Amino acid sequence: MGPDTAIRTPIPAEAPRVPEGTDLIEWYYERGYSDGFPLVPPTPEKIAAIMAALGGEPGRVVSRVPPRWGSLTREVLAINMVMAGCRPEYAPVVEAAMLALCDSRFNLNGVQATTHMASPLLVVNGPIRNVIGMNAGCNVFGSGNRANATIGRALRLVLLNVGGGWPGLLDKSTLGHPGKYSYCIAENEESSPFAPYHVEHGHRAEDSTVFVLAAEPPHSITNHYANDAEGILDSVCSAMSTICNNNAVSAGHCAVVLGPEHAATIAKSGWKRHDIRHYLWAHSGNRWGDLYGNGRYGKVYNRNLPVWYKREPDARTPIVPSPDHIHLFIAGGEAGRFSAFIPGWGHMSSPVLRSVDGAQPAAGAQCVDGSCAV
């Protein structure tokens, strides 16, 4: 039985000593700690630096991580962060993201074990994006940025090493997707004509937040001709309106990432976040008969959809139950008329937004179209 099929060895609180001259990278592969890429050896000095950034207390349990329900202490979190290549200043984001993922609303147990390809998407808002050097611009979902890549990778290593979500063992995903290595971006607040996502949801602009969604990979949306909001958003609706994503058959939540050029075109029409989400919800969807194979799925397959959906062949079936289930972000490079639709896992998981420091949105805040007043 090779190292990729062996039962994985949990990372101990105190790493075992290895003989001098051992090839540590190969040793970690043999122990089954890796996500498939080489790991950075977690030296005491590197662990101590991240522990200091976390605030000490190495034995403090951050969360229990399903499906194995391993206890994630700050020391174990620091070890996995070092192995992922994180800098110490990333620590508050990684810890906040793990707390969001382990929130009961997210249902990480289901996300880890499902046969679907869903993987946690992390979106960061607020000043911390720039403090730690995250990429919110060109190639935002791609390679080339240490913070994006290693923060996302640290989460995945924790889900593997502490949560036990190893492919073929407790992770039963039929296909998976590349975001299961790292799926972490920041919103491009500087290039956005709209208020940031976290402000729309009641936080102050100076707050730093993390948002997690169980998600498929981005689905590209191309529109190089429209010079009005409706023209751009009709293309987004087209991408959303398929009969094969989990939102179509299981409701839940989804995300739309508008590229800055598309966002600027929409904003010139005078539209706000509120208008965009409502338009997308009202003009996307599928014919019930097409969605359910003209009755071949029967009543069992769609039993978890909202009861107010009409179960009639020609009825429109929304992609998600309400405009509030569409999570809108602005990200990507300033050149290029591209956006993305990101389907979620369905009704089985709800996204979680939390501040990096744990603070709640300002009491009494009322957000209308992204503008908050207390």
Three-state DSSP class for residue 40: coil
Residue 169, classed as helix, strand or coil, is coil
Separation CA 272–CA 249 (nearest Å)? 29
- pLDDT at res. 3: 39
Counting as low any pLDDT under 70, the low residues of the chain are 1-16, 299-301, 363-374
pLDDT at 294: 82
- Angstrom distance (rounded) from CA 21 to CA 196: 50
For 78-112, give the DSSP string: HHHHHHHT--GGGHHHHHHHHHHHTSTTT-HHHHH
* pLDDT for the residue numbered 299: 67
For 53, residues 6+ apart whose C-beta sits below 8 A from its C-beta are 88, 89, 91, 92
Query: How far is CA 135 from each of CA 117, 123, 179, 355, rounded to the nearest angstrom?
Result: 25, 11, 16, 19
Separation of alpha carbons 154 and 160, rounded Å:
10
DSSP state of 38: P
* Region for 21 from its dihedrals, namely left if φ exceeds 0, alpha if ψ lies in -120 to 50, beta otherwise: left
pLDDT of amino acid 5: 43
In the prediction, which pLDDT does 4 show? Answer: 46
The DSSP secondary-structure symbol of 180 reads G
Q: What is the pLDDT of residue 1?
A: 33
- pLDDT at position 293 is 84
294-318 tens-digit pLDDT: 877 776 667 778 999 998 999 999 9
Comparing CA positions, the residue from 183, 179, 88, 185 lying closest to residue 129 is: 185
The pair of structure tokens assigned to 175 is 């296909």
Instruction: Provide the token pair at 11.
Output: 């990372």
Distance of CA 138 to the CA centre of its chain: 18
DSSP result, 188-230 = -GGG-SS--HHHHTT--TT--EEEEEEE---EEEE-SS--SHH
- Residues 202-252: pLDDT tens digits? 999 999 999 999 999 999 999 999 999 999 999 999 999 999 899 999 999
Query: What pLDDT is stored for residue 369 in this prediction?
Result: 63
Q: Taking each helix axis from N to C terminus, what angle separates 74-84 and 91-101, rounded to the nearest 10 degrees?
A: 110
pLDDT of the residue at 363: 59
pTM: 0.93
